[in-house]
Chain A
């Protein structure tokens, strides 16, 4: 039963992810992204990671994609003529595809579970308390780094979006 649900969600997620890339209509692409994120949240639920699922829906599906749509609507992008691919794009996408294949191959080769039953151990992200503890003990450094990166991105946006007339304005 759980396997069947997983396959349904996985197919749903992969399908909508493909639709994001392939569809020409920008609004439809954003909506497909929304569906994709909801599918990922569903997979998180199957993994008993309810918090991650809720955060996924709340932050990404609820706010980020809404902002995407907001921007798309403000820019009023219409599906125009598609430009031919640049050489760099083709090379990098082929490279990325090879990396993806390698990654899948390594999963298939080494990903076979040899340790004891993982289901016996309580999953880390399952309860809020264990999640919070892990976040502020084991994974404190990554959290800090991500926070710092976000701060930099925010400052960058402020600098880029504000028009500075001269150096006096900065002072």
Chain B
């Protein structure tokens, strides 16, 4: 049934797959902006945007008012507004870099997803295959590498805007992102020491990390890695907040001090590109967090996707079909990502923004030593386990 697809040339298939991934990622990122407004509203005891409805749909009884109260049409109106609004380029900016910056922002935001697996299926040979655009050996490193390029859009935007607020935002962003990258990278090393324990295959692939969290029932591998590496997970999460410029680390834009930070001078479509890029970073970042520490596409600890499919096979006959299994895995993964994004927003509307020196202090004098100590302890522990097994 799908043979014709696999008979297509590789490059066509890759383009189709990449297009499909972006078609999922982009609306999620866009919907996040509405979710942000709704969640902030509910936390503050407000209903949030609930008025907008296109007149030609207003007559539909139950369904449309429900969407209206959820603010779905507001999202469409906002998106349309960004497209049709006048796009000002202030006279005092460096035009080339000013226009380049939002474009650069989209590149790492959309390309990190390439090495992130988001599901798995059992192929005809009975082997578990990840659903991913490129299953690289160095998966996580590639995510880190490409996402570290995200800082340039912020720096460039800050510099090219030629205004002091933007400039301060850009400077803060570059310092903050470089600082927290260190703690973030060190915090995941224990996980990969464990994955690559002596006798292991030697990989940084995120798929293999999930495989080690897919034990059935009571098994060593049934525990998600947040149970084995709570400190790593904590440091990674905090650094993720800092890397995605989310509150309480949104120093680069902190509207109470810097007007809008690096995007002060931006408006209309260019501004919305920054906005969407931030949410894309959030989606990919929480995806990586879930793969590393929360069991990826496995629904529950001790109940991996394969076991769930076998259970469902009794109820639904086509449950073991690769297509169903793949979609189920992707669904579970996206569900977890959405929960994690909710957590991001929940934190944003709870915590006050840190002062800039506190951010730097936390990064360099707290998280970095903590992650180094974490690494050393886990290295000794894993080496000790390996000795014991001998």
A contact set with B: CB distance below 8 Å: 27, 31, 34, 50-51, 54-55, 57-58, 61-63, 65-67, 69-70, 73-74, 127-129, 132
Q: Which B196-251 residues have C-beta < 8 A from chain A?
A: 201-204
Q: What CA separation (Å) do A34 and B144 show in the bound complex?
A: 16
Q: Which B155-183 residues have C-beta < 8 A from chain A?
A: 155-156, 158-159, 167, 170-171, 174-175, 177-178, 181
Q: Is the CB of A57 within 8 A of B202?
A: no
Q: Is the CB of A57 within 8 A of B155?
A: no
Q: Does B97 contact A (CB under 8 A)?
A: yes
Q: Is the CB of B203 within 8 A of A128?
A: yes
Report the minimal beta-carbon distance from B293 to chain A, rounded to whole angstroms. 21
Identify 15 residue pairs between A and B in the complex whose beta-carbon atoms are under 8 Å apart, listed by A's number.
Answer: A31-B152, A31-B156, A50-B137, A50-B142, A54-B145, A58-B141, A58-B144, A61-B145, A61-B149, A63-B148, A66-B178, A69-B155, A127-B202, A128-B202, A129-B202
Q: What CA separation (Å) do A156 and B156 show in the bound complex?
A: 31
Q: Does B309 contact A (CB under 8 A)?
A: no
Chain A contact surface mostly:
helix
Known: A57-B145, A73-B167. 6 other contacts (CB 8 A): A50-B138, A50-B142, A58-B144, A63-B178, A65-B152, A66-B174
Q: Which residues of B contact A51 (CB under 8 A)?
A: 137-138, 141
Q: Which residues of B contact A132 (CB under 8 A)?
A: 202
Report the minimal beta-carbon distance from B114 to chain A, rounded to whole angstroms. 12
Q: What CA separation (Å) do A135 and B204 show in the bound complex?
A: 17
Q: Name which residue of chain A comes closest to B140, CB basis.
A: A54
Q: What CA separation (Å) do A65 and B178 show in the bound complex?
A: 11
Q: Is the CB of A58 within 8 A of B145?
A: yes
Q: Which residues of B contact A57 (CB under 8 A)?
A: 145-146, 148-149
Q: Which residues of A contact B175 (CB under 8 A)?
A: 70
Q: Which residues of B contact A127 (CB under 8 A)?
A: 137, 202
Q: Is the CB of A55 within 8 A of B97?
A: no
Report the minimal beta-carbon distance from B134 to chain A, rounded to whole angstroms. 10
Q: Name which residue of chain A comes closest to B150, CB basis.
A: A62
Q: What CA separation (Å) do A43 and B96 show in the bound complex?
A: 28
Q: Which residues of A contact B158 (CB under 8 A)?
A: 73
Q: Is the CB of A54 within 8 A of B141?
A: yes
Q: Is the CB of A62 within 8 A of B137?
A: no
Q: Which residues of B contact A61 (CB under 8 A)?
A: 145, 148-149
Q: Does B284 contact A (CB under 8 A)?
A: no
Total A-B contacts with CB atoms under 8 angstroms apart: 76
Q: Does B136 contact A (CB under 8 A)?
A: yes
Q: Does B337 contact A (CB under 8 A)?
A: no
Q: What CA separation (Å) do A81 and B196 show in the bound complex?
A: 56
Q: Which residues of B contact A65 (CB under 8 A)?
A: 152
Given contacts A58-B141, A128-B204, A129-B201, contact A66 B152 (CB under 8 A): yes
Q: What CA separation (Å) do A170 and B177 show in the bound complex?
A: 32
Q: Does B291 contact A (CB under 8 A)?
A: no
Q: Name which residue of chain A comes closest to B154, CB basis.
A: A66
Q: What CA separation (Å) do A104 and B202 show in the bound complex?
A: 37
Q: Which residues of B contact A34 (CB under 8 A)?
A: 152
Report the minimal beta-carbon distance from B30 to chain A, rounded to whole angstroms. 27
Q: Is the CB of B202 within 8 A of A69?
A: no
Q: Is the CB of A128 within 8 A of B137?
A: yes
Report the minimal beta-carbon distance from A134 to chain B, rounded to whole angstroms. 12
Q: Does B280 contact A (CB under 8 A)?
A: no
Q: Is the CB of B178 within 8 A of A67?
A: yes
**Partner among B156, B167, B171, B181 whose Cβ is within 8 Å of the Cβ of A62:** B181
Q: Is the CB of A66 within 8 A of B137?
A: no
Q: Is the CB of B148 within 8 A of A58?
A: yes
Q: Is the CB of A69 within 8 A of B97?
A: no
Q: Is the CB of A66 within 8 A of B177?
A: yes
Interface centre among B136, B145, B149, B175 (most CB of A within 10 A): B145
Q: Which residues of A contact B144 (CB under 8 A)?
A: 54, 58, 62
Q: Which residues of B contact A50 (CB under 8 A)?
A: 136-138, 142
Report the minimal beta-carbon distance from B108 to chain A, rounded to whole angstroms. 9
Q: Which residues of A contact B294 (CB under 8 A)?
A: none
Q: Which B307-338 residues have C-beta < 8 A from chain A?
A: none
Mark B23-55 against chain A: 1 for CB-CB distance below 8 A, else 0.
Answer: 000000000000000000000000000000000
Q: Is the CB of B170 within 8 A of A55?
A: no
**Partner among A58, A70, A128, A129 whose Cβ is within 8 Å of the Cβ of B171:** A70
